[in-house]
């Protein structure tokens, strides 16, 4: 497997933030992925989808980074199912389902990212989660073994699955039952319109910064707003005016700018609501004390 050295991660990540990867490989098949994992043996590795949910530190990643490519981008619609490689984009999955008249994929319209990232994050909307549609998903272990998981084995929860963090998802089979084509088109269109109206697509972001703490607490965006953080800016980063749970990169933002906004938001929410907000986004390349400031595990 060919490893590239000192690869800038900012251009590969949706936030356009982050220093270089010391080593980066782009496996195009399960064989290449297993070889890359063997090369990386003994070192924690990281998998980057589109970085639509990751804040990468300004110093980058000392850990080897894997970006799936080639055959991992496949999408195949069959009778009652869609099989997708982990590098296939979620909106492409939604588009394939819409064109084939398959029900239940509208919520991937306008969710940036890959199937692999979606499996890891259990991406979804308030009502629908990715794993609700999964028949099985396959992952490669650090030892190069291919494992097939059923949903009950992955134990999907809110933006979380109980699958070792060093396993790499490679493929999933989704249940995709035929439905009424007009109703499906309408569901996709209205979902996309609502997302684009209420959230921020014109500036780089990584979506919702904080997990919703759940009842009896208000939604995370409301807490951010009520502690006066909407619109607050540090360097090139700003708590979005349109959606207070988004932090956008206005141009030239550094990871430190985003971290400062997160730390201040969390401090204020703790004081005002006695709630310790937990990041929904994943943080790479930060020191333990930086992670602790924003409540990252
Ligand atoms: C404008 C906007 C709107 C969004 N709306 C939503 C929404 O409605 N619902 C929602 O859930 N999310 C939303 N998000 C967040 C994001 O789209 C999802 O979390 C998406 O699943 C991230 O996919 P990714 O491929 O970019 O993953 P990345 O951000 O690259 O990675 C996320 C995590 O998954 C891991 N990972 C990636 N690929 C693999 C793999 N193949 N195997 C194992 N681990 C892997 C990474 O290591 C990392 O820990 C939004 C983001 C933006 C910018």
**232: helix, strand or coil:** coil
Ligand 1 binding site (Cβ under 6 Å of any ligand atom): 14, 46-54, 68, 86, 111-114, 116-118, 120-121, 123-125, 168-169, 199, 201, 205-207, 282
Note whether residue 214 is domain-resident: no
Residue pair 110/195 in contact (Cβ under 8 Å)? The answer is yes
Does residue 205 lie in a domain region?
Answer: no
**Residue span of the structural domain in which 58 resides:** 4-66
Q: Indicate if 182 and 225 belong to the same structural domain.
A: no
In ligand 1, the atom with minimum distance to the C-alpha of 168 is 42
How many residues comprise the chain? 297
Ligand 1 atom nearest residue 204's Cα: 53
19 and 107 assigned to the same domain = no
End-of-domain residue from the set 15, 49, 66:
66
CATH number reported for the structural domain that contains residue 144 in this entry? 3.30.465.10
pLDDT tens digits for the chain (297 residues)?
A: 899 999 999 999 999 999 999 999 999 999 999 999 999 877 889 999 999 999 999 999 999 999 999 999 999 999 999 999 999 999 999 999 999 999 999 999 999 999 999 999 999 987 899 999 999 999 999 999 999 999 999 999 999 999 999 999 999 999 999 999 999 999 999 999 999 999 999 999 999 999 999 999 999 999 999 999 999 999 999 999 999 999 999 999 999 999 999 999 999 999 999 999 999 999 999 999 999 999 998
Please identify, by atom number, the ligand 1 atom nearest to the C-alpha of residue 54: 29
Do 174 and 233 sit in the same domain of this protein? Answer: no
Domain presence at residue 172: yes
Q: Does 133 share its domain with 181?
A: yes
Same domain, 164 and 103: yes
80 and 62 share one domain: no
3-state secondary structure of 171: strand
Count: domains in the chain: 3
Distance CA 163, CA 149 (A): 9
Pair (172, 193) in one structural domain: yes
Q: Check which CATH number belongs to the domain holding 25 and give it.
A: 3.30.43.10
Residue 74 corresponds to which tokens in the numbers above? Answer: 């496949």
Residue 204 inside a domain? The answer is no
Distance CA 51, CA 112 (A): 9
- The residues assigned a catalytic role are 159, 208, 280
**208 domain-assigned:** no
* 84 and 175 co-located in one domain: yes
């Amino acid at each position: 497997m060919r490893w590239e050295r000192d690869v800038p991660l900012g251009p590969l990540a949706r936030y356009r933030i982050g220093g270089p990867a010391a080593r980066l490989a782009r496996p195009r098949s399960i064989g290449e992925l297993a070889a890359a994992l063997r090369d990386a043996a003994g070192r924690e590795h990281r998998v980057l989808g589109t970085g639509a949910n990751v804040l990468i530190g300004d110093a980058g990643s000392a850990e080897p980074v894997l970006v799936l490519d080639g055959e991992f981008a496949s999408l195949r619609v069959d009778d009652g199912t869609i099989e997708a490689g982990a590098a296939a984009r979620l909106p492409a999955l939604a588009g394939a389902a819409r064109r084939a008249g398959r029900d239940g994929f509208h919520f991937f319209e306008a969710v940036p990212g890959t199937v692999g990232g979606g499996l890891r994050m259990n991406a979804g909307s308030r009502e629908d989660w990715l794993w609700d549609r999964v028949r099985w998903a396959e992952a490669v272990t650090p030892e190069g073994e291919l494992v097939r998981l059923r949903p009950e084995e992955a134990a999907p929860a809110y933006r979380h699955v109980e699958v070792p963090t060093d396993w790499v998802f490679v493929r999933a089979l989704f249940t995709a039952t035929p439905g009424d084509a007009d109703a499906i088109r309408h569901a996709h269109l209205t979902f996309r319109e609502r997302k684009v109206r209420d959230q921020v697509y014109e500036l780089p972001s990584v979506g919702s910064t904080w997990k919703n703490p759940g009842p009896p607490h208000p939604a995370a965006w409301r807490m951010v707003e009520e502690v006066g953080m909407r619109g607050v800016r540090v360097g090139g980063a700003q708590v979005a005016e349109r959606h207070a749970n988004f932090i956008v990169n206005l141009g030239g933002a550094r990871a430190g700018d985003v971290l400062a906004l997160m730390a201040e938001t969390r401090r204020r929410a703790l004081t005002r609501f006695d709630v310790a907000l937990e990041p929904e986004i994943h943080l790479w390349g930060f020191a333990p004390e930086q992670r602790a400031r924003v409540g990252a595990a």
